[in-house]
Structure 1
Amino acid sequence: MRRILISCLVCAIACVGAAAAFETRASRLQAIKTIGIVSAIGEEMSLTQAGLTRLGNTAQSASISAWGLDELIVQQATKLLSGRYRVQPVSYRRPAFAAIRDSAVAPVNLLRTDPFKELVRSDIAPQGLDAYIVITRARSKLGNGRNVEGVGLAEYRTLLADYGLIHALYEVRVIDGKSFDVIEKRTAAPLDNTGTVRLDGPSGPVGEAFDGPASSERLRAAVADLITRSLPVTLGDMHLIEGR
């Protein structure tokens, strides 16, 4: 009986702690009035081949800076958030944010200091806004365990079939503009998880090979579509959009 009572007490304390943490996060989000938006996911596209017949190949990349994906993300996020917040333009060193490849959203990294905290403190102007939305590349495993991240085109081959995926994997952080602590963070979820080959983020099938991805308007439009459709879902799941 004593053990049961102790277990119940521990559970009760844990529940109270979780409720308090949620209340604190919700109240901090509610207090935000002014925000700045940082995006650093779209300067290059990865080209990944994986599967039983491609185990030895390494990923390649191609520049897609001309696509203007980060500008698109800032534009779309501003449109979505401006109904609730006063969004102010900010300047920042995009390569510095894009250079951080170790995602603090992953469970293995939960005890580490978020790597974007100091960047927001030192590399964004103006300072002093209530919060900053930071959107950067996320990572997922493809097929046999090979990692893919950010914007990319992936081909997964088996003995019987080939599968092509285009992906736009990203994560969103809300960082306090005074303490620079992470208030909330979330990885964009898959839009459709019914395909044969799945990624933990926005992706979709593509039927063509890897010829000329950086100059392909069709691929650019497909990536833009993934971003445009997933961003309101992600921001809504983070309770940054009214009515979600």
Structure 2
Amino acid sequence: MMKRFCALVICLLLTGCSLWPWSADEETTTAIPTIGVISALSERITLAQVNSVGWEKSSYQFPLEDWQIDATASSEAERLLRKRGYDVRPVRYDRKAFSANALGGPVARGGLLDRKRPALAPVIRSAVQPNDLDLYLVLVEASVPLGALDPHGVALLRLGGEPTAVALYHAFLIDGHTGETVEDIHAEPLGNGWYQLARVDGPYAEMHKSVWPKPITAWTASQRQDFQAKIEDLLHPSLRKTLDQLDLDRR
């Protein structure tokens, strides 16, 4: 009798375990999306004096040389993505394949008369390793209309008064499996509410007039260092705002 009772108890326990809703066999885990960051913000620095209606009075271009603008943008974007729970993977890529020249020009904000968005999937397939992550955040050079001037990338503008540093870029979130653009957005000005008018339709920061070179071709090392520091400082809040607007928490 005791043996039968023990057998019955064991059967009931086994049945209960199999029906337990939190059984380890039925646990499901959500895979953490892998993502890589690609940055190609600018190939050069543009200095331009602009009058009150946006006409360019004079301009000059300098090579970026050993500036680490893309490294700054990538590392900050990767840090923000990790905070959001993404599995950020290092990627190697041919930066020139994502330059404005390779993509048909800097990306405009968008509109009926603007050029189509570049097709980034084939570029990722051919110029990025690894090329099979779940997602890619691609930051590329952008342009904004400013009267008769169309500045793009990294630039120092003199808009009648104080010099203005700008870092104009467009962000694409690309599905690494289908190649489709999940979302894309033009980087916005910082700290502008609905009642404020931005001087530039993109990330910008005013600087002291001592940064502006006289003549425009005679930029000193200290002036360049001050400008580089301002661009790097500008990218941190700008990338945070851009990623917020991409709604990366929705997965």
TM tier relative to shorter chain: 0.7 to 0.9
1:10 paired residue number: none
- The answer to whether the 8 A contact 1:173-1:186 is kept is yes
1:230 paired residue number: 238
2:143 paired residue number: 139
1:155 paired residue number: 158
Tell me the C-alpha RMSD between the 2 structures.
Answer: 2.7
After TM superposition, what 4+ stretches of structure 1 lie above 4 angstroms from structure 2? 194-197
Once residues 220 and 112 of structure 2 are traced to their aligned partners in structure 1, the CA distance between those partners, rounded to angstroms, is: 33
2:184 paired residue number: 185
Q: TM-score, normalised by structure 1?
A: 0.75
Distance 1:235 1:203, change over 3 A: same
Q: Percent identity?
A: 29
2:95 paired residue number: 94
Answer with 1 or 2: which has the greater Rg: 2
Once residues 85 and 210 of structure 1 are traced to their aligned partners in structure 2, the CA distance between those partners, rounded to angstroms, is: 41
Q: TM-score, normalised by structure 2?
A: 0.73
Once residues 208 and 197 of structure 2 are traced to their aligned partners in structure 1, the CA distance between those partners, rounded to angstroms, is: 14
Amino acid in the other structure paired with 1:186 = I
Once residues 197 and 59 of structure 1 are traced to their aligned partners in structure 2, the CA distance between those partners, rounded to angstroms, is: 22
Distance 1:66 1:74, change over 3 A: same
Q: Greater helix percent: which structure? A: 1
Once residues 56 and 110 of structure 1 are traced to their aligned partners in structure 2, the CA distance between those partners, rounded to angstroms, is: 22
Specify every segment of 5 or more residues in structure 1 that has no aligned partner in the other structure, as ranges: 1-29
Once residues 243 and 117 of structure 2 are traced to their aligned partners in structure 1, the CA distance between those partners, rounded to angstroms, is: 23
- The answer to whether the 8 A contact 1:62-1:214 is kept is no
Distance 1:54 1:149, change over 3 A: closer
Q: How many residue pairs end up in the alignment?
A: 208
- The answer to whether the 8 A contact 1:48-1:60 is kept is yes
Q: Give the deviation of 1:56 after TM superposition.
A: 5.8
Once residues 213 and 140 of structure 1 are traced to their aligned partners in structure 2, the CA distance between those partners, rounded to angstroms, is: 28
Q: How does 1:62-211 map to 2 (within 5 A)?
A: 62-83=62-83, 84-98=85-99, 99=101, 100=103, 101-103=105-107, 105-108=109-112, 112=116, 114-142=118-146, 144-157=147-160, 162-193=161-192, 198-208=199-209, 209-211=211-213
Distance 1:36 1:68, change over 3 A: same
